[in-house]
Amino acid sequence: MSSKIVITIDGWSSCGKSTLARQLAAVLGYIYVDSGAMYRAITLYFLRNNIDFKKKQEVINALENISLEFIFNPASNKSEIYLNGENVEYLIRDLIIAEKVSEVAAIKEVREFAVRQQKKLGKGKGIVMDGRDIGTVVFPAAELKIFMTADNAIRVQRRFKELYPKNPNISIEEVKNNLEMRDYIDSNREISPLRKADDAVILDNSNLTESEQFEKALGWAKEIIQKKERS
């Protein structure tokens, strides 16, 4: 029997979910899937094609023309997302996308489209996926579920540091407003809102270094994997 497990990492925006997920996947030899990238790529498609996402049929038709794929890039050492054959990994990190993505991710048809693909990616186990509903909806039977959180001010600083080099005109206020808005929509939407799965472990990294949080999470994963190997 394979001792590979499924690890889910959910939590608020800019908690460092993807950093942790990528590190865990690398050391365990697992696939890493950034589910937020899928919602961001769909948002990019909608914006480019002037899709009125308040109109259900327009959304359904648009989704039929969207194909998403993750391809590993050895240069960046990560899987990057392709929208209809185009690498959009860097474009989707823009604040223009961040401003609309929560609205798009709240649409039922969009979630069904993304979740179907996410479930397929987890079929072979050996996967770390981060997002908002991975432990609750996508992989409710995952062996390790982590719910990440951090102080608001710390999250704003982290996101600002990430966006500033690309956009020196950006202000702390803009970043703060965007994070607050996304957290609000993500946790109050009707379908699959962000919430901690009952069996998830909380990882508050406000006062942890990247390596401390990694060691903690790796410890949890190893314990579960070893238990599985013994059974």
Residues binding ligand DC (CB under 6 A): 13, 35-36, 39-40, 101-102, 105, 131-134, 182, 186
Report in angstroms how near the CB of residue 49 gets to ligand DC at its nearest. 19
Secondary structure of the chain: what % helix, strand, coil (to 5)? 50, 15, 30
Please state the three-class secondary structure of 110-177 as a single string: HHHHHHHHHHHHCCCCCEEEEECCHHHHHCCCCCEEEEEECCHHHHHHHHHHHHCCCCCCCCHHHHHH
Choose between 101 and 197: whose C-beta lies nearer to ligand DC.
Answer: 101
Q: CA-to-CA distance for 228 and 100, rounded, in angstroms?
A: 42
Report in angstroms how near the CB of residue 230 gets to ligand DC at its nearest. 32
Report in angstroms how near the CB of residue 114 gets to ligand DC at its nearest. 7
Report in angstroms how near the CB of residue 9 gets to ligand DC at its nearest. 10
Choose between 28 and 110: whose C-beta lies nearer to ligand DC.
Answer: 110
Choose between 81 and 217: whose C-beta lies nearer to ligand DC.
Answer: 81
- Rg, Å, the chain Cα set: 17
Choose between 20 and 105: whose C-beta lies nearer to ligand DC.
Answer: 105
Residue count of the chain: 231
